[in-house]
Amino acid sequence: MVNPGDVFGGAGGGLLFSVLYDGLKELISKYLLFKPVLKSLISTLKSLEQVVPEIVKLNKELDRPEIELASLKTQLEEGKVLVAKCCKVRVLNVYKKYKYAKKLLGWNENLKQQLEMLNVQGIRDGKETLSTVNNTDKAVSRIETSSFIIKEGLDQIETNTANLQMVVGRVEVRCMNLEARIKQIQKEAKLEAWCAVPELPTLTVGLDRPLKELKTLLLNDGVSMVVLSAPGGCGKTTLATKFFQDEQVQDKFKNNMFFVTVSKTPNFVLIVQELYQRKGYQAPTFPDDKTAVNCLRTFLKDEGQNPLLLILDDVWSGSDSVLEKFDFKMPNYKILVTSRSPFPGFGSPYLLQPLDFDNAMELFHHSASLGDRSSHIAPDISRQIVEGCKGFPLAITVAGKSLCGQPTETWEKRLIKWSKGSSILDDEIQLLLRLRSSLESLDSSNEEMATVKECFLDLGSFPEDQRIPVAALIDMWAESYNLLDDDAKGDILCVANLHMITNRSLANLVVTRKDQMQGDGYYSEHFVTQHDLLRELAIYETRQEDQGQRKRLIINITGNDFPKWWREQKYQCMKARLLSISTDGGFSTEWYNMELPEAEILVLNFQTKNYALPQFVKRMVKLKVLVVTNYGFIPSELTNFQLLCSSSYLKRIRLERISIPFIAKNSVELTSLQKISLFMCHIGQAFSSDGSIQLSHAWPNLVEVNIDYCNDLVELPADISDLIHLKKLSITNCHKLLGLPEEIGKLAKLEVLRLRSCTDLETLPASTGNLKKLNFLDMSYCFSIKELPENFGELSSLRKLVMRECSRLQELPLSVSNLEHLEVIGDDETQSLWEPFFPIKGTSIVVTKENINLNWLHKLQF
């Protein structure tokens, strides 16, 4: 049985009631505004204090468990905690005073319900007492006394509730007046509302899943910062606002939440001052940013005694220093950053994806006000408009609003313009300005930034919805932007520019190689993907120049429909340095003439089985880079290759899904060619020992050869050893390659030999040891290699050897002990192979755990 003293801290509950009386009296002395409310609560408690002993006594006489009074005890304990919290509220914090006034009112309501329950219980106990106790009159008297006291208590509670409601009303009025005064002060001082949470759009779609994922990520105990990134107009701020207003988030952080819009040119001092004002403090003045940083950290630590959330919205690229000022370790301190840039050095990344079709349609119907009664627009037209918006919420909203209420002909006109190559950006100035703002950070007198912008614009040279090979971009950029200090540095600078583009969410980098080893110069399995609208932005930017004066001429041909200006030969001579022509599977006509004497880069994209180089290529005398890509399913025959003979500056050729035997049939001598890359090409016949192609004759000055995913390659021609200038030979993912020519040791200048994922390759030629300048060898994933040549240790310049997953290699030749200052990268089996030879001067083994990257499982089309 529960003892009454155990329930209430004393037989009559005196201890618990005394604590409550003391707390309420302290509040009366501290907050005169709440004096009527607090006094009425004291009166209510006194009524309860009189009732409780009577109920306890009746329960004892009836041998009834005292657990029935536990609910009242819970209410009193909760009141004790509430009163303690009220005592800690600052005098000037009107918001919290209002908040706790409402809680006191709620507590009064609960006490009223408890009194009603006690009244019922008292009557019940009285009736039972009549049948079990002889002194009926005395029992009835006690019941009547209890009922009378309860009735008086209920009357008093009703009066107190009315008084409390009047006080709360006055507090609400004062809060409203205070808010109005704060706004007036801000207006007079011309302060911006940095901490104001943006309003949500009338309709938000497609954010339920991202919101759930964002909460899972940021509310994780191990994550303190998340960077939510996407191009402008994708809904980053909307998602951040939904996160801020989410019930679960609000419950975790209570009122300890801040929403700060940083913008392009943030005023850090003003941000800190606004944070102080947001919490009801007087905004301090700071002589400099350093003082503001110190005060900010003090402020956040004081407020961070409870969970704290800070949302930094619209953080621009290059604002790393701003994030550093907010980023420091503190328990329960969370930061959500929204930006076009992912800021890889800060927090965990979260990339917001465009809307799927269903959500895009819902948003479009709302924006265009297409209700059931006003749907005079054919569904197919709406579908095409939505598809043209590419899933960007901003594009969908702007397009819908601009077409709202317009006749069907206006909608169809929009589609007609788009079908003729016009972009949504031609009609929607608001969207254009928003997307172009993504390029503002690149519009600079700084030469490096200007180059990065030019690189972004070059991405428009490739077809929509196709992955762009990074290797092709390296060829284009290295020759265009003076990045050729040497081959290795040129590649690094090109990829660095690409990272600057992807960091601004202007493109995405996808790596398909099975491992994610970095810094080895292998980019054949790196690709760029780009949202269609961003591609159109790049093309739109190029169209702002006069047709004949453009740096880039990007032409997309559907069927045989050439642009009108080209058919009519409007421009006799064009000054473009880059020409890109994309055709579809319906292209089957002759080329019109074109004069581009300044063109240095030619990008040809097609889908047909047979493809002829345009005749005007012969007059592109300054051509340096040729990129030919077949986006069909089978390799294509390429004709007119001999037109390149006149290109005395041609240094780089990249061919993808091309059948190479045509070269053997039409041997073309390109004496300036330094690099050739063959990706997913058919080259077996041309490169066999019986093939008629003579590499040393056709391309005598080659410095680099890249052969990747050419599955019919069984052997290399022996005369590859006659390429006396060759420095890099990369043969990767050629699974049928059985061996290298024995003469390979004659390549005296060879520095890089890459053979990764040639799974049928069984051995290296004995002459390999003659490669005295070889400093990098990658033979990873060559599962069939059983032995290395005995003179392997004579590779005196070898500095890095990658031999992961060479599972059949059981032992190393004794000569490897001669290799010094070598870094061996491999797995546990690699370490076991090398351990018997250690120590070797300056040589180390790096054992890497398999970091599986499943991007490579997306099947390539052969």
Average pLDDT, the chain: 80
Neighbours of 778 (CB within 10 A): 24
Q: Which CATH number covers residue 414?
A: 1.10.8
Tens-place pLDDT, residues 685-744: 777 655 556 778 888 999 999 999 998 899 888 888 999 999 999 999 999 999 999 999
Tens-place pLDDT, residues 543-572: 888 888 899 999 999 889 899 999 888 888
Position 223 pLDDT exceeds 70: yes
Q: How confident is the model at residue 211 (pLDDT cuts 50, 70, 90)?
A: very high
- 66 Cβ partners below 8 Å, 6+ apart? 1, 2, 3, 4, 6, 7, 56, 59
> Quick one: 503 and 646 in the same domain?
no
Name the 3-class secondary structure at 741: coil
Neighbours of 95 (CB within 10 A): 15
> Quick one: 450 and 552 in the same domain?
no
Q: What is the pLDDT of residue 185?
A: 39
Q: Cis (ω within 30 of 0) for the bond into 839?
A: yes
683: number of CA atoms within 13 Å, CB side?
Answer: 28
Name the 3-class secondary structure at 362: helix
What are the DSSP calls for 637-651, one per residue? EEE-GGGGGG-TT--
Comparing 371 with 439, the larger pLDDT belongs to 439
> Quick one: 564 and 692 in the same domain?
yes
Domain with 271, as residue range(s), is 208-351
Name the 3-class secondary structure at 660: coil
> Quick one: 504 and 614 in the same domain?
no
In this structure, are strands 610-612 and 578-583 parallel, antiparallel, or unpaired? unpaired
- 595 Cβ partners below 8 Å, 6+ apart? 572, 573, 574, 616, 619
Indicate the residue among 136, 159, 189 that finishes a domain.
189
Sheet (strand 308-315) strand order: 257-263, 308-315, 333-339, 225-229, 348-351
Read off the tokens for 108: 């009064």
Q: Is residue 858 part of a domain?
A: yes
Position 575 pLDDT exceeds 70: yes
Indicate the residue among 351, 369, 392 that finishes a domain.
351
Position 835 pLDDT exceeds 70: yes
Q: What is the pLDDT of residue 361?
A: 94
> Quick one: 234 and 345 in the same domain?
yes
Q: How confident is the model at residue 204 (pLDDT cuts 50, 70, 90)?
A: very high
Comparing 831 with 513, the larger pLDDT belongs to 831
> Quick one: 170 and 224 in the same domain?
no
Q: Is residue 194 part of a domain?
A: no
Rg over alpha carbons for the chain, rounded to the nearest Å, is 39
Q: What is the mean pLDDT of residues 170-183?
A: 52
Q: Which CATH number covers residue 274?
A: 3.40.50.300
Tens-place pLDDT, residues 608-620: 888 999 999 999 9
Say if residues 611 and 630 touch (Cβ distance below 8 Å). Answer: yes
Q: What is the mean pLDDT of residues 122-145?
A: 54
Q: Is residue 198 part of a domain?
A: no
Indicate the residue among 414, 433, 452 that finishes a domain.
433
Q: Is residue 718 part of a domain?
A: yes
Phi, psi values for residue 60, rounded to 5°: -65, -40
> Quick one: 458 and 375 in the same domain?
no
In this structure, are strands 526-529 and 508-511 parallel, antiparallel, or unpaired? antiparallel
Q: What is the mean pLDDT of residues 560-589?
A: 89
Position 824 pLDDT exceeds 90: yes
> Quick one: 394 and 458 in the same domain?
no
> Quick one: 720 and 826 in the same domain?
no
Q: How confident is the model at residue 861 (pLDDT cuts 50, 70, 90)?
A: very low
> Quick one: 361 and 479 in the same domain?
no
Distance, in Å, from the CA atom of 20 to the CA atom of 26, rounded to the nearest integer, reads 10
Phi, psi values for residue 230, rounded to 5°: 180, 160
> Quick one: 573 and 701 in the same domain?
yes
Q: Is residue 13 part of a domain?
A: yes
Q: Which CATH number covers residue 465?
A: 1.10.10
Tens-place pLDDT, residues 60-90: 666 666 655 677 777 777 787 877 777 777 6
Q: What is the pLDDT of residue 30?
A: 64
Q: What is the pLDDT of residue 656?
A: 95
Q: Is residue 538 part of a domain?
A: no
Q: Is residue 197 part of a domain?
A: no
573 secondary structure, DSSP code: S
Say if residues 630 and 606 touch (Cβ distance below 8 Å). Answer: yes
> Quick one: 98 and 238 in the same domain?
no
766 secondary structure, DSSP code: G
Q: Which CATH number covers residue 811?
A: 3.80.10.10
Q: Is residue 539 part of a domain?
A: no
Give the count of domains, the chain.
6
